[in-house]
A and B are shown apart, each in its own frame.
Chain A
Amino acid sequence: MSDVSITQSSVLASTGGQIITQFTAGAELTAGMFVYLDSSNIWQKVDADSATGTETTRVFGVVLNHGYTGQPVAVNARDSDFTIGGTVVAGTTYVASTNAGGICPRADLGSGDYVVNLGPATTTGKINLNPTATGTPI
């Protein structure tokens, strides 16, 4: 399998989404990217290859719009009815992939990869977004 292919214009929080809006992008970020808040309160892409940004203490979320470096972005931190903007498999748990900012099924990760759960898909288009990190590699 591979990363979920995101259509940026289709990424939408539900009315119950818990959205963080006061921080800026540390790189160009697009709608649907999986991100974490670094120690300078700047959003960075999550990468399952890296021990940095996959710690249990991080705040994680999915970008809801598009910002270049230094611009504000809105990040959905928790949303039980989140439209991810791509096709997912109901019942499958999605995680940060080894492509920075990308999302893939948990089963796609390999030895040495860090697990940051995004949440399980509830339908073919929605995820119960509740990001958590294990802080340890597989």
Chain B
Amino acid sequence: MSDLSITPSSVLCSSNAVIMVGQAGMELVAGDLIYLSFVGGYWERAGSSFLIPATVAIGWALNHAYAYQPISAMLSDPNFVPGATLVQGETYVVSPTEIIGVRAGKVCPVGDLGPTNYRCVVGVAISTTNLLVKTITTGTTG
């Protein structure tokens, strides 16, 4: 399997979503997995090849922002449309994918993680289009 292929224009939360609005520390697009960095308090792309402590908030970017612009980060949602094709029942996590050494903010099935990757759960597919989102940062590898 591989990272989800997300169409940013199709990313939509439900009316029951819990959303934080903060400031982007880099360019972020809808569907990116992001975490609240302890350096500066900006939202940045997440990656499971780097430690994300269990105390750090992680979420889904709901729109597109350049550095220092406002970004909406969704932390939980019972019926989230991530704009990608899912496998019903699958658990999705932060992917270890990097782009030239930088966290890519991608999503993958939990089975794709290696033993050195950190476990950050970002949702369980309740259909081929919708996710039950409860983000969990464990701070541990598998």
Contacts and interface: CB of A to CB of B under 8 A. Distances in A.
Nearest to B7: A68
Interface stretch (A4-12, A111-119, A123-131): A4-12
Given A9-B27, A21-B21, A72 B62 contact: yes
Given A11-B69, A21-B72, A74-B21, A65 B9 contact: no
B84 to A, nearest CB: 15
State which size class the interface on B falls in. 20 to 34
Interface residues of A, number: 20
B24 to A, nearest CB: 8
A73 interface: yes
Q: Chain A contact residues: over half helix, strand or loop, or mixed?
A: loop
Contact of B66 (A31, A68, A70): A31
Interface of B: 8-13, 19, 21, 24, 27, 30, 62-72
The 6 closest A-B pairs by CB, nearest first: A74-B70, A66-B64, A9-B66, A68-B9, A65-B65, A67-B63
